[in-house]
Chains A and B, each alone.
Chain A
């Protein structure tokens, strides 16, 4: 009998919690599919770095489990509070407390099991989709197979059993402790501000703003460039931000009261009075929840944006550093064995051998001032290339060729500092080489293998051939090798990781001399240096792709779970209160508010609720990402940073928006239920 009663009640309230149920199901699906990915052998075998995928998913899962546990516990206490009258009535009728708490547990376990089952089914499909995406990234063929990873199922089930078990114990204890009259009057009056004095609230409000600014200043100072990053001050900035967020949401209601409710002109305007009183009546529970949600959002936005920036940086570095499929440097200039091997094992589209000359500093490095590379010029020579070599390489890369008068030179530099160099050249348009003055004709910023000191490090001077032939090269004292000879190859097909491994095997095997004569002395040839002078784009790309995949998938995983958990909590709060709001909106209707205006008010109310916890995170994280992003400026531009943060915000708001619309639709339905 009791079971039937409770089930009917649960059913009646189910519509308010359907969003919660869907969220739990999505969470199960995500956790299951990511664990399946972690256990998948197809994926861990994709490249050497993909073995970190498993570890990082496992670590992230812990954070995600904590967030889900919070959501479940929160929602369960919430349902308990909402149904307190019902449970009190059972107790008044003489039903044992033990039986009531058993019923409540049974209901929740049922919800958990159903969500788990649905989630695993959806998760299996999601797992297939994710696998296809990863296989596509690595350009590997993949056939859909329905393999049901028992380890992943077991782990997911264990996670959720743990979560539900803790939440149930917690709520069972709560139910046991409360007395009947507490249950009967659990629906409280309007809440007061945490602090009675409005002056105190204003001070707190101002302090929170000061904390935000201080945190940003600390971040700005810490992330000036790659060398100044310090863990301690970053932690301080994070701590200040968290404190600031909570203080802000504690004091915001007083701010609203002051702005909209103490000023009669604003209060009586439109529907301000009704909307803001609704908002401030729930202020205490709200401020802590909203603070927590805002904190989550801040960390998702900053964390994901930086993760995506790292991806962009890695990707750009490949494009900038490895425009040729195969690049080899050598000190002796004998590439014949490499040539033979490569021609045998790959379809060659074009190859070229050339030399890079080192001359005394010309002072052109002053152009690096004010760029992220200011400190990176640690050697005291400049590198030079012949125009004919330059044009040949440009042709291979598909760039336009250049011409020079005999008193002109070209500066070829990294794309990210092309503008800085152009600015510098505008003011200093000549340089002196061997007491001869040359005009700088142009600055070029195409990708030219300059991040890894292949065609010059960061920048390179191009001179006419006849000038190059007469240049005084510097004597490189103290440097054992001068890898002045370069060899580049473009292939018809992209090289892969295996090609690189086999090439290395070949080099190690004997084809390359084991000793070399330098300055009349025979020394052992350092094989590691030799291997380090051989790079292929395919191998670099595979490494980067692994990091790319790991970072993007983790960012996607964490932010999706955070976003749906946060949106769910807001949705549940609003929907379960809709009974109360129904009464309020009903009265407005009787007093003559028409449907359009009513809908607008409902929309506004929910919109304010949903926008409040994301408003501060957006304001904080955008400058924070730009400040932190400065350490990536060696390989990304400000535009890249803006684009990345835009993508993250866009995705976040998409998910959040779906929840908002679902809440709005259900809320409106609840309020209009049973009226014409």
Chain B
């Protein structure tokens, strides 16, 4: 397996000279191609900042981030948008579907942004929607379909572009447990069957138990790392709970 994402000693500060907050304090890790990695931590631990830095929405104060050997911290401002639309896929907490567009068009959105040929767009949308089982609702608007179908649509949009890495920011945050379960199974499927590399930020141990590997952040540093390996999801889930208990101070986040 090759390295997909390499994070090297990154730091991120907020505030002014007299009052510096270190949101990220020297974090390094590597994500392999085809991995499903989770980032956990309490509110304020720096996980969303980390995701924003990787997704080029925010820039780092120090350190480097490489995506397949390309240093994304060195990309010029005017090329960032291009980089983002060609290399990254996003799944957001509230699906971020556009109400004005049909399901089909929501999936096609990132392709039209990349100015792909109309025939190619149509073919890709049909292909991915069949794989994700939403080909029957392509002609509907988001408010006409269920929450689960909306997530599938959001996932389809994230992956249709064949991005190098899919970034998911608390994807289950706004869902009931049944829908959350569905979404996570889908992401697992995308990871296993379509070899998508996924980086998911969450504070929910149940969601995290679907990952291959989990990084725990505390106060901007990596506090711990656990790997699923051959464990069952149940065992892995308990292990996560143990680490969270060690992290302390935020047991109210543990369901």
Interface set of A (CB-CB < 8 Å, partner B): 189-190, 264-271, 273-274, 277-278, 280-281, 584, 587-595, 597
Contact = CB atoms under 8 A, between A and B. Distances in A.
B100 A277 contact: yes
B100 A593 contact: no
A588 B88 CA distance: 13
B100 A190 contact: yes
Contacts of B84: 590-592
Contact of A594 (B57, B82, B110, B115): B82
A267 B85 contact: no
B37 interface: no
A280 B101 CA distance: 10
Contacts of B109: 273-274, 588, 591
A267 B83 CA distance: 24
B113 A588 contact: yes
Given A189-B99, A592-B88, A592-B113, A269 B118 contact: yes
For the complex of A and B, the 10 pairs showing the least CB-CB separation, nearest first, are: A592-B85, A594-B81, A592-B84, A268-B118, A281-B100, A277-B100, A265-B118, A268-B121, A592-B81, A189-B143
B78 A594 contact: yes
B86 A268 contact: no
SS of A interface (majority)? helix
11 contacts: A189-B141, A190-B99, A190-B143, A266-B118, A268-B112, A589-B81, A590-B55, A592-B81, A592-B83, A592-B84, A592-B86
A278 B82 CA distance: 24
B111 interface: yes
A589 B203 CA distance: 26
Interface string B70-114: 000000001011111110101000001011110001001111111
A594 B75 CA distance: 14
A422 to B, nearest CB: 59
Contacts of B108: 268, 273
B122 interface: yes
Interface string B139-164: 00101000000000000000000000
For A265, A266, A591, A597, the residue with the greatest tally of chain B CB atoms inside 10 Å of its CB is: A591
Interface in B189-214: none
For A271, A277, A281, A590, the residue with the greatest tally of chain B CB atoms inside 10 Å of its CB is: A590
Interface in B116-140: 116-119, 121-122
Given A264-B118, A589-B81, A593-B113, A277 B101 contact: yes
Contacts of A589: 81
B96 A587 contact: yes
Interface in B49-63: 55, 57
A503 B109 CA distance: 82
Nearest to A272: B112
Contacts of B110: 591-592
Contact of B141 (A190, A269, A270, A588): A190
A419 B115 CA distance: 57
B90 A274 contact: no
A595 B78 CA distance: 8
Contacts of B117: 268
A190 B101 CA distance: 10
Nearest to A277: B100
Interface string B8-46: 000000000000000000000000000000000000000
Given A190-B143, A268-B118, A591 B85 contact: yes
Given A189-B99, A264-B118, A268-B122, A591 B90 contact: yes
